[in-house]
Structure formats: C-alpha cells, structure tokens
Amino acid sequence: MYLEKFILPIDMEDDLLADRAAENGGPHGYVDNSYPCGLFAEKDLFEIGFKKITILYGGNGSGKSTLLNLIAEKLRLNRIAPYNSGEMFASYVENCEYSLGYDDEGFEYRIPNGSRVITSDDIFDYMLTVRTNNNEIIENKETAKDEWANLKFGETVKFSGMQDYEALRLQVLARKKSVSRRQFIRKTVGNEVKLSSNGETALQYFEQKLKNDTLYCLDEPENSMSPKMQLALVKMLEDMAHYCGCQFVIATHSPFLLALEGARIYDLDSRPAVIKEWWELENTRIYFDFFEKNRHFFKSNFNPI
C-alpha cells in the first residue's frame, strides 16, 4: 500500500489566512476566497488513513472532490482535467502532510510512476475526441476515394524535388496491385475507433488506462455508467487492488462502488466525518428503502433465467 496517511493543516488555517491577507494588502488586507480553509475543520476531519481502496463519500458540496484534489496535488499525480481551486489552495496543499507505507522488507514505498487522477471529465473528453475524430475520418473517406482514382489512373506524378515526395508516395501506393481501394483509404485516412454506449466506452477507457502497481485517484468514475457497467467497474477495481498491486482513492456516492470489497469509507456528510460501512450510508439506505417499499412488484414479476 503506497499511501498510508494524509494529514490536513486544520490547526494552521488561521495562520495561512492571515499570511495571505497580509500579502494582499498588509494590515488592511483580506482574502476573497478562503476555500478550502474551513471546509474540513467543521467536520473534525484532520487525518485520513488509507487502505487498498479508500472511498470519500458525500453529496455535492461535501468536499469529497476537494479532498481528492488536495491528495492528488500533494502527491503531484499526473492529471488532464483542471480542477476548482482558489487563492488559498496552493498554500493549503503545501502544508498538508502524508506518509507512505512499507514493503515486506521494511523499505518505504514511493509513489509509482504513472500514478494519476482520472475524472469523469477525462472520460467525457475522450468520448468527444473519438467521435470528432471518427466524423473527420468519415468526411475524408469521400475525398480519399476520388484521390485514389486520380492517382491510380491519372497522370504520373513527376518528381522534381522533396515537395513532390508525398504525392509520389501516394501514387505508388495507389498503383500497387496488392493494395485495394479500401486498403488505400484505410492507410491514408485511418480507421474509425469503435464506440459503444457511453457506459461501455467509459469501461473500455478504464481497461486501457489502469495499469498494474499504480496509485489512482478517481473522481466519480461511475458517471455515464449504467448499474450493469458500474458492477463491471467494481469487479475491475477489486481485481486490480487485490491482485495487481493498485491502490485507489475514490470520490463517489454510487451505492455500487461504495460496496467495493474491503473499502474504507469516509462519510463526509456526517458531522464529524467518520468511517462507516457502505450499508450505513444515506445513499444506500435510500435505495434499500425504495426497493423494500416495492418488494411486492419484484415478487410477483420474478422470472428466474
């Protein structure tokens, strides 16, 4: 287990705010936005202890994504999507502390290369990029069909300098007996990336990105996933944590992810923030109460496969 403990600078917040106010205007200075100061003090959350899977649970505004970003920034994890910060964020991160675990021989772990943050925005951007790329390929295919005919049956390109190299190379390719028009188009335009439903594509994204022996911070990875896809993601994360040397810190309120085997869950909706079991949390209780209330529908319409 790479990351063992993370400590928030709760007892330093007043000093950090005073220092920032002084920077902003001396004795008359003030801080426009104190975030994230005060967010975790009111929850009495000073320290987070980690397991192979640690979940930060809470509703919107609970601070789960903020805490995830503080951890990620302190550990200098790779990331793509930007995050919400403020004028106090950098100094707050600077004063956070963490400790790492130890291997079987007593050596302290290091944060593995390739460790990163993955957010729902990363997945949406990936799907958007692939769709845009596919549309461009479809548009270029029609042009490539005409280009193939002109190169194969038109006049031979005369090579008078490097400026003619690419046109000559394409003509040689088009006139090869072993290369069909379809193959020419595929080689010059490229192949479309197969996209399934949003949930299936999101799952494929994780299959491609998650590597063995790595630390990941995942911010609401269940977004765009159906319950079936979320359960598939749960199985993937459990296997990678238990068998592939991965550690996960996850911000979520999905009942399916909350039930990840062996996860330690911090309930950021409670005052103070405490560790709870997944079946004690409000989100899962709401689902349970709903289905319990409607149990008779399931009994009367149950058809085992």
> How far, in Å, CA of 273 to CA of 97, rounded?
19
* The predicted structure's pLDDT at residue 298: 84
Q: Each residue of 94-144: pLDDT tens digit?
A: 999 999 999 889 999 999 999 999 998 898 887 777 767 666 666 666 677
Q: φ, ψ for residue 148 (rounded to 5)?
A: -60, -45
Largest pairwise CA distance in the chain: 82
Mean pLDDT, range 211-223, rounded to an integer: 95
> Radius of gyration over alpha carbons of the chain, in Å?
27
* Domain range 3-122+212-295, CATH class: alpha beta
* The predicted structure's pLDDT at residue 193: 60
Residue 24, phi-psi category: left (phi > 0), alpha (psi -120 to 50), beta (remainder): alpha
* The predicted structure's pLDDT at residue 60: 86
* 45 pLDDT more than 80: yes
Q: Nearest to residue 130, comparing CAs of 68, 193, 67, 212?
A: 193
* The predicted structure's pLDDT at residue 119: 92
133 or 233: whose pLDDT is higher? Answer: 233
* 211 pLDDT more than 60: yes
* The predicted structure's pLDDT at residue 248: 98
Q: Each residue of 17-31: pLDDT tens digit?
A: 988 988 887 776 788
* 195 pLDDT more than 70: no
What are the extents of the domains in the chain?
A: 3-122+212-295
Of 192-201, 266-275, 276-285, the one with minimum mean pLDDT is 192-201
Mean pLDDT of the chain, nearest integer: 87
Let me know how long the chain is. Answer: 305
> How far, in Å, CA of 256 to CA of 243, rounded?
20
> How far, in Å, CA of 62 to CA of 219, rounded?
13
Contact 101, 49 (CB under 8 A): no
Of 60-64, 75-79, 297-301, the one with minimum mean pLDDT is 297-301
